[in-house]
Copies of this chain bind each other. A is one copy, B any other.
Amino acid sequence: MKFCYEYPHPAVTTDIVVFTIGDQCLQALLIKRNNEPFKDKWALPGGFVDIDEDLDTGASRELEEETNVTGVYLEQLYTFGQPDRDPRERVITVAYYALIPPEKLTPVAASDAAEVKWFALDNLPPLAFDHRAIVDTAQQRISAKTRYSTIAFQFLPERFTLSELQGVFEILLRENLDKRNFRKWILALNCVEETGEIRRNGQHRPAKLYCAKNPDRVDIIK
């Protein structure tokens, strides 16, 4: 107890909603807590912000420590600070969300957590703390951003087919899209280009492979 202040200070954490797309649906990564409070409950990955560490840095550090994932899209979501959200002490959490493509989808077992698992968003278990509200906020944000930005590309590997791209949009928007209209629209946006490669994949015509023109950037569209 050697860090003392004239006035009470809250603890500050980051929690990260890690999204991916798998099994034809949007999934979030949860860890099973092996300490009180909420022992054995599922929760978001996250942890305390170091005292001389930037919030973004803290979030990406926690993400790497608990999932072994680096170099993915990470954005601040919202700050949750209800006084009673943690029974131990006042904890304010700066929530982030991360999007990871299925190619990097083997983060499990990098953590000190008891268990790490992907859950479909419409089939979440009860969550610790106020983590359910955080996940819901993140899902709203990501759906909204799908409509007016190129954020959906962050779920795809470097090379992808237009059908795969359409599938990601359909999952995020929760609606079916017309194939011809989607292709016209996405090509008119001028944000993908043909690689010249094709992918043979089953007993049907092979698909052209495309890549994003600016894979590291999320642009506002429309």
Interface, chain A (partner B; CB < 8 A): 1-12, 48-49, 51-55, 76, 78-79, 81-83, 90, 92, 94
Contact = CB atoms under 8 A, between A and B. Distances in A.
B78 A54 contact: no
Contact of A11 (B2, B9, B54): B9
Q: How many chain copies does the complex carry?
A: 2
Given A76-B78, A82-B54, A83-B53, A48 B7 contact: yes
14 contacts: A1-B4, A1-B6, A3-B4, A3-B7, A4-B4, A5-B5, A5-B9, A9-B10, A9-B51, A10-B10, A10-B49, A55-B79, A76-B78, A79-B94
A54 to B, nearest CB: 6
A8 B90 contact: no
A3 B1 contact: no
B4 A51 contact: no
A48 B90 CA distance: 14
A1 B94 CA distance: 27
A79 B79 contact: yes
A81 B54 contact: yes
B12 A92 contact: yes
Given A53-B83, A55-B81, A6 B6 contact: no
Given A4-B4, A6-B1, A49 B12 contact: no
Contacts of A76: 78-79
A2 B1 contact: no
A117 to B, nearest CB: 29
Nearest to A90: B51
A119 to B, nearest CB: 27
A179 to B, nearest CB: 25
Contacts of A1: 4-6
B12 A3 contact: no
